[in-house]
Amino acid sequence: MSKNNKIKVGVVGAGHLGRFHVEQYLALGETIDFIGFFDTSKEVANKISKDLMVVSYDYLNDLLDNCDAVSICTPTSIHAEIAKEAILRNCHVLIEKPITKNIKEAEELIVLADEKKKTIQVGHIERFNPAFCALNKKNITPQFIESHRLAPFNIRGTDVDVVLDLMIHDIDILLTLVNSDIRSINASGVSVLSNTIDMANTRIEFKNGCVANMTASRISQKKLRKFRIFEPFSYTNIDFLNPCVETYVLSNKKPEHDCSYIVMNQNEEKYILYDKPTIISHNALKMELGNFVQSILQDEEPAVTGVDGLNALKIAMQIRSQIKNNNS
């Protein structure tokens, strides 16, 4: 920590996503000291250093030795390797999702971080989406959940399959909303334009009776990120792409304001109450990084812990394994 008690932060991996981390750390202003970044590509490093007027380190360990905390925005395959080195060099880590490429690596990182008393935060950014922040999560008891996450094909994301690239966002949200163990998982998927799964669908049944049907695809002409929650007498639609929350509740009482309603029978009227909470616009990544910094300063758990990342990864791995078995 610097003399003025600010957290000294850096970024490892300054590609597409890493550059955003650099920009948003700079946007946090006086709350942190941004030390610099490391990237193996000299071309990328020189461009970002020039564009954003930040220090580019030639060696990873030199950056780690000068930081209290780092964002790890490298390919998933080397998340564990870099995070381990960072923790051993006394750094807290924010690891972009998925936490690691396999469960064993994630478990070992969590144990190491506990031993070294270092924070692991995982970059499940939808937790900080303005729409999800506007949702009243305390009163939600889902019976059925449906999610669709679609994106155009981009070769940049094919180092992992669509389950780890896209669906894992919705897996994390699902586990946040449903307080129950899982009873069963049924999944299917196909490769279309890459050597890994490009489209996947899974049905997850929880022991409390909740059922989730989730679809993810990176073979789409349009982007779509929607999450629908069905409860007894209510329905909630969350749009993560164009932040919005809409809730419909069935009520026996006629509202004081204008409201659509349906007639259940000739002797009874039930009313559909519509609510669309105000969305407070903010940059989700900036909020995520701010939460990371504050969790270190306050010595408290971040919003998305290493264990959260591990739990989402475990479900993702089960889905991938089942798809592989079905396709073999």
- Of the pLDDT bands very low, low, confident and very high (cuts 50, 70, 90), residue 5 is confident
If you search the block for the tokens 């919003």, which residue do you land on?
303
Residue with the larger pLDDT of the pair 6 and 310: 310
Residues 73 and 289 sit within 8 Å (Cβ to Cβ):
no
Burial class (CB in 10 A: 0-12, 13-18, 19+), 136: exposed
Amino acid 271: pLDDT: 79
Rounded to an integer, the average pLDDT of 151-156 is: 85
Amino acid 274: pLDDT: 85
Rounded to an integer, the average pLDDT of 187-205 is: 95
Rounded to an integer, the average pLDDT of 168-182 is: 97
pLDDT in tens, 211-244: 999 999 999 999 999 999 999 999 999 999 999 9
- Of the pLDDT bands very low, low, confident and very high (cuts 50, 70, 90), residue 160 is confident
Strands 92-96 and 182-190, sheet pairing: unpaired
Question: Which H or E element spans position 20?
Answer: helix 16-27
Alpha-carbon gap, residue 288 to 284, rounded angstroms: 6
Give me the sheet containing 120-123, strands edge to edge: 56-57, 32-38, 7-12, 69-72, 92-96, 120-123
State yes or no: pLDDT of 115 exceeds 70: yes
Domains defined for the chain, CATH in brackets: 7-127+284-304 (3.40.50.720), 129-279+315-327 (3.30.360.10)
Rounded to an integer, the average pLDDT of 164-186 is: 97
Amino acid 137: pLDDT: 74
State yes or no: pLDDT of 2 exceeds 60: no
State yes or no: pLDDT of 303 exceeds 70: yes
Amino acid 319: pLDDT: 98
- Sequence-distant (6+) residues with CB within 8 A of 316 are 98, 163, 164, 167, 168, 171
State yes or no: pLDDT of 203 exceeds 70: yes
pLDDT in tens, 55-112: 999 999 999 999 999 999 999 999 999 999 999 999 999 999 999 999 999 999 999 9
Alpha-carbon gap, residue 168 to 101, rounded angstroms: 12
The mean predicted confidence, pLDDT, of the chain is 93
Amino acid 4: pLDDT: 65
Amino acid 266: pLDDT: 56
pLDDT in tens, 283-296: 999 999 999 999 99
Three-state SS at 326 = helix
Pick the closest to residue 64 from 98, 45, 36 (CA basis).
Answer: 36
User: Which tokens in the block code for residue 219?
Assistant: 């073979």
Burial 31-57 (b: 16+ CB within 10 A, else e): ebbbbbbbbeeeebbeebbeebebebb
Amino acid 140: pLDDT: 87
Amino acid 29: pLDDT: 86
